[in-house]
Structure formats: C-alpha cells, structure tokens
Amino acid sequence: MARNVYFSTGAKNEQALYEDVIIEALKIYGHDVYYVPRTIVSLDSLLNEDTESRFDGAYKIEAYVESIDGFEGEGTLLSKFGLEMRDQLKIVISRRRWDYLVGKYVGEKVVRPQEGDLIYFPMLKGLFEIKYVNSKSPFYQLQNLPVYKLTLELFEYRGEDIDTGVEDVDDLQGKFSETLIVSVDYLSANTFSANENCTIAFPSGGSAQSEVLKVEQVSGGTIKLHLAPLRFTDGIIRTLSNGCVIESSEGIASAVIRSVGNPLSSSNGVFTNDPSAQNDELELNGNALIDFSQRNPFGEPDNTR
C-alpha cells in the first residue's frame, strides 16, 4: 500500500528546524576553520589543470571533525620521491552557513565547495586541500541535503601565491616557497615593504606579478628583495635577469634588478627552505657516476648513406 498521507517528511518548517539543530551542533562541537577558495589563473585546456593557482581570500566557518580517532588516509610514506604525508581528515560543514559565509563572496558560478580549495585549521596549524566533496550524505532524510562532507588531505605547497589577509595562512608561503633573491638599484626615493605586490617588466617584453616577502638591507648600501614565485601575465615563462624593472603595485617604489641570486645556499648547496632536500647533492654525485660523454658502444648510426 502507499505510504501514510498524514505524515510528511518534506515540510519546510521541519526541514528548517532540522537544519537549525545541525548548525547549533556544529557551533557547539565544531572548530573554527578558514575556508580558502582557489582562484584559477591560467587553465591548461589540454590537461584541465592550473599550474599558477592563487589563494587570495579566507573565510571563517565552523566545521565538525568527523575523524574523531585522528588522521586517516595512508599516513606517512617513504616513496621514490621522498617522504610523503598522506594524512586525511573528514569534516562536516553546514550548506546554509557555507552559502552565507563563503558562497556569496566567491562568485555566482561556484555553488558548492570545490575540490582544490583549502581549509586551514588554527588548532592544528595545518593547511589541508579538499579532495572530495560529498553533498548527498545524509541522503534526503527530510527530503533535503543540509550539510557537505569534505575529505581533506594535507596540502602540498607547489609555488602558489597565498595572500588571504590571515597572517598565519600567508606565512606558509614564505615558509615553504623557494624565494627569488634579487639585488636592486632603486629608481625612486621610496622603498619596497614586505607583503606588497609588485610587477616585473622584462627587457624583451612581457611582465610578471610577484610579491615581496622580505626586504633585506645588506652592508655597503646593497638592497636585496626576496620575491615569491613569478606569475606571468601572458602565460609565457621568461627568465628573470639583470635589467628587469620591478615596480610596486601602487607605483610608489621602482627599481632595476642588478643581479639575481641562486635559490640554493652557496655554502652547503641545499635549498634554503628545506635543509633536508638532497636534490643538489644527488645531481653532483650522479654526474660523477655516469659519464655522459661516452658514445654508443654498439656503434653510431651512419647518416651519410
């Protein structure tokens, strides 16, 4: 027989009450986190990926950690690429609260949390990337979907620009990025300041955007600027060289680059932000073991015939 017509699970007032109870529970048992949406700079239509993503906003929202027994996922792995952290978390956020606190600021086309966006946990001091968004659990209990369940994985920094306005989040870029160190001669009376955006014009044409992470005063009147990875405005990658002109985004300070430093430390040949990296050491030892000057022992092809 058909279901009882006197009982309805789709009443608007019941759905609103159910959603209010969920939001109240999240506010009691949840944690304050920052939702950091990703902005796509130049999408590769062939591979459908963006290698120059940036994160320029952070929105506080409450979230319940569903992984109560600790981190999930594969944990810490020792692979052929080195030590990899595969820690995962599952969290729950309210659909209505996301629409109110985040959705109205990220654009009309974004109607739900997106894979690739970030979540920052102040309690863990960790940045996590959204890997999967489950928007249909619980499955229509009152004929509605009140929450999102997000599967997060520890974020692996790949040179993205992070400028959210939240100091703890923005500091991660300076901590993990391999900065460009340039010596400059000022063209103006004003100087650069840390955390300001700048534009770099190349002598051959074209420009790039960057951020001044640190201004270093060196003896003898030399000024060194620590720049974040470059974001090329036309998508064409160019080499930063002497003669490039760097100007602050407000047009207050400008300078010409006199020399470009090496991101590797000159003293021990390791990456400045990752002393445990062995890239330089492995390359030097590999060149000593393999002699690339040897010709084919089985004979070279005769192209004269």
pLDDT tens-digit readout, 100-113 = 999 888 877 788 99
pLDDT at residue 215, as a whole number? 84
What is the reported pLDDT for 238?
81
The tokens describing 292, both together, are: 């690339």
List the chain residues with pLDDT less than 70: 1, 51, 73-77, 79-83, 174, 177-178, 218-221, 262-305
Neighbouring C-alpha atoms within 13 Å toward the C-beta of 267: 2
Identify the pLDDT of residue 264. 45
Task: List the beta strands (DSSP E) in 109-220.
Answer: 118-121, 126-134, 147-154, 161-162, 180-186, 196-201, 207-217
Q: Is the peptide bond preceding residue 37 cis, with omega within 30 degrees of 0?
A: no
Q: Which long-range contacts (CB under 8 A, 24 or more apart) does 296-299 make?
A: none
What's the pLDDT at 270?
45
Say how far apart CA 144 and CA 136 lie, in whole Å: 9
- Residue 117's alpha-carbon distances to 36, 152, 271, in angstroms, are 6, 10, 27
3-state secondary structure of 55: strand
Amino acid occupying residue 273: N
pLDDT value of residue 304: 52
> What local confidence, expressed as pLDDT, does residue 268 receive?
42
Phi, psi of 300 (to 5 degrees): -95, 150
For the chain, the structural domain boundaries read: 12-170, 178-289
Helical residues (DSSP H) of the chain, grouped into ranges: 12-29, 95-101, 167-176, 279-289
In three-state secondary structure terms, 35 is strand
Alpha-carbon span 238 to 227, nearest angstrom: 15
Write down the architecture of domain 178-289 according to CATH: Beta Barrel (2.40)
The rounded distance, in Å, linking the Cα atoms of 119 and 42 is 22
Q: Output the pLDDT for position 265.
A: 42
CB atoms within 10 A of CB 148: 21
